[in-house]
Amino acid sequence: MPQSAASPSSPDPAPEISHETLAANLVARICHDLMSPVSGVVSGLDLLEDPNSKDLHGEAMALVAESARRLAALLVFQRAAYSPGAEAPPGPELESLARGGIAHGRAALVWDVDSGPLPGAAARALLILTQIGAAALPVGGRVRASSTVGGGWRMVSAEAEGGRVKLHPEVAAGLRGEGPGEGSAGRWAQAYWLHAHVRSAGGLLAVECEDERLRLRAAFPA
């Protein structure tokens, strides 16, 4: 049973964060994630429209196709991760969503989750934990996603392992339910949304960061 990332005993009340502040920063984060594949589509189309670049049309079409696939995967991921009313997909589809959510980074995903469906709250938490774990591996590594049940709790976790593991201070603050501070408000909003989501479901978050390993866990009443 993990302890809360905000406190080793009973969590302190979360600071008052307005819905408008959280929504604005979360939208900024989502737009940031989508910008890279959108830019790839636009760059490919520009090459196709350039009469002096006919010899690059094959590469341009490949860039458009790959960027469009990444864009579609990220859109589906964001909808599943941040839509509380969305139904939890079965295991294979959840794995596909998780892979699509980190495909733009350098981390590889190891999926160690049962094929049966997870409850909606746990499934959404696992998607975001996986994305946060992958973002903590700027030079690559692996993220192991897993799920266990025991002692009246269901736990989902993402363990990131690799060189130069880095959990940004604003992400750590968001996971603890604290305000954004001076760091990236987009990264903070994702972590704070996860904190609020887990808390509202009666769960707890735990974070452990070592030199080359980051463990992120969310536990929900089973």
pLDDT digits (tens, 9 = 90+) for 70-111: 999 999 999 899 887 666 777 789 999 999 999 888 999 999
C-alpha span between 158 and 218 (Å, rounded): 9
Q: Is the pLDDT of residue 7 over 70?
A: no
The 10s digit of each residue's pLDDT in 131-178 is: 999 999 999 999 999 999 999 999 999 999 998 899 999 999 999 999
What are the pLDDT digits (tens) for 34-64?
999 999 999 999 999 999 888 999 999 999 9
Q: Rounded to whole angstroms, how far apart are CA atoms 46 and 53?
A: 9
**pTM of the shown model:** 0.85
Predicted confidence at residue 212, as pLDDT, reads 86
CA distance linking residue 194 with residue 14, whole number of Å: 13
Q: Taking 60 as the threshold, does the pLDDT of residue 112 lie above it?
A: yes
SS (H, E, C) 159-194: EEECCCCCCCHHHHHHHCCCCCCCCCHHHHHHHHHH
Element (H or E) spanning 19, and its range? helix 19-49
pLDDT value at position 180?
A: 80
> What is the pLDDT at residue 127?
96
- Between CA 59 and CA 78 the distance in angstroms is 28
Question: How far apart are alpha carbons 191 and 171 in whole angstroms?
Answer: 6
Could you tell me the pLDDT band of residue 22, with boundaries at 50, 70 and 90? confident
Cα angle value 126/94/39 (rounded, 5°): 90
Tokens of 75: 């859109």
Average pLDDT over all residues of the chain: 87
In our burial notation (b when 16+ CB lie closer than 10 A, e otherwise), range 81-92 reads bbeeeeebbebe
- What percentage of the chain reaches a pLDDT higher than 70? 91
Of residues 212 and 97, which shows the higher confidence score?
97
Q: How confident is the model at residue 126 (pLDDT cuts 50, 70, 90)?
A: very high
Question: For residues 211 and 219, what is the distance between their CA atoms, to the nearest angstrom?
Answer: 24
